[in-house]
Structure 1
C-alpha cells in the first residue's frame, strides 16, 4: 500500500507543468533573469469551470506606444502557437507564443519576438 502511495505521489509531481511566471512591468528581471520565476502551474477554477489543469506555458510581448512589456505565464486555454500577433486600438499590439513543454516560455522563445517587433515597427511606420 505504501508503495502505491509513493508511486502515485511521484507520478503527480512528474506530471506537474512548470513555467516561468512573471511580468516585466512589476518584475524587471522577467526580461533577462526570468529563471528565478520557475514555478509549478497551479490548477485553477475560472469561468464557471472547476479544476482546470494548465495546458502549457505562454510568453507575450506587448507594445503600448513606446513601452514594451513581457508576460510569462501558465496557459489554461488555447493550443501551441508561435509568434501570433494581434493589434488593438490606441497603438497597442501584442505578439505571443504558447507551448506545451516545461519551461518553454524562456528567452529562447522570446528571441522570435525580435522579428515580430521589427515587423510591427515597420507596420506602424507605414500604417
Structure 2
C-alpha cells in the first residue's frame, strides 16, 4: 500500500510542473517575494507546434541602461543552464538560468528543495 501511495505522489509531481511566473516590471514582488507567484505551467501551442509541455523553469535578469528587471517563467525549449549571459542591443544585457525541477527559478536556484524533500520522504518510507 505504501508503494502505491509513493508512486501516485511521484506521478502527480512529475505530471505537472510548477514554476514561479511573474515579471518585476508589472509585479514588483517578483524580485523578492516571488513565492506567491507559484503556478502550474500550462501546455502551450506555438511556432506551429501543438500541446508543447514545459521542460523547466527559467529566470531572466535584464539590465537596460540603469534599470534591472526580473522575469520568472516556464521554459518550453532549451536545456539546463546557470547564469548564461546574452547581450542585446546597446545598453541591454540579460543573464538567465534554466532548470528542470519544479520551482527552481527562485532567488536561490542552485538548491532544489522540492527534489530533496521527495527523496528524503521516499527513503523514510522504504528504509
What TM-score bracket applies, with the shorter chain setting the length? 0.7 to 0.9
Cα separation, 2, equivalents of 1:89 and 1:13: 40
RMSD: 1.9
Aligned to 1:44: 44
SS at match of 1:107: coil
TM-score by length of 1: 0.76
SS at match of 1:70: strand
Matched ranges for 1:1-127 at <5 A? 11=11, 14-109=14-109
What is the CA deviation profile of residues 63-116 of structure 1, one whole-angstrom value per residue up to 9, with x for unaligned ones?
Answer: 000000000000000000000001111210000000000000001039xxxxxx
Cα separation, 1, equivalents of 2:14 and 2:109: 23
**Structure 1 stretches of 5 or more lacking a match?**
1-6, 111-127
Cα separation, 2, equivalents of 1:15 and 1:86: 31
Cα separation, 2, equivalents of 1:98 and 1:18: 13
Cα separation, 1, equivalents of 2:91 and 2:60: 16
What is the CA deviation profile of residues 108-127 of structure 1, one whole-angstrom value per residue up to 9, with x for unaligned ones?
Answer: 039xxxxxxxxxxxxxxxxx
Name the count of aligned residue pairs. 103
TM-score by length of 2: 0.76
Shift of 1:11: 3.8
**Structure 2 stretches of 5 or more lacking a match?**
1-6, 111-127
Moved more, 83-92 or 53-62: 83-92
Shift of 1:14: 4.7
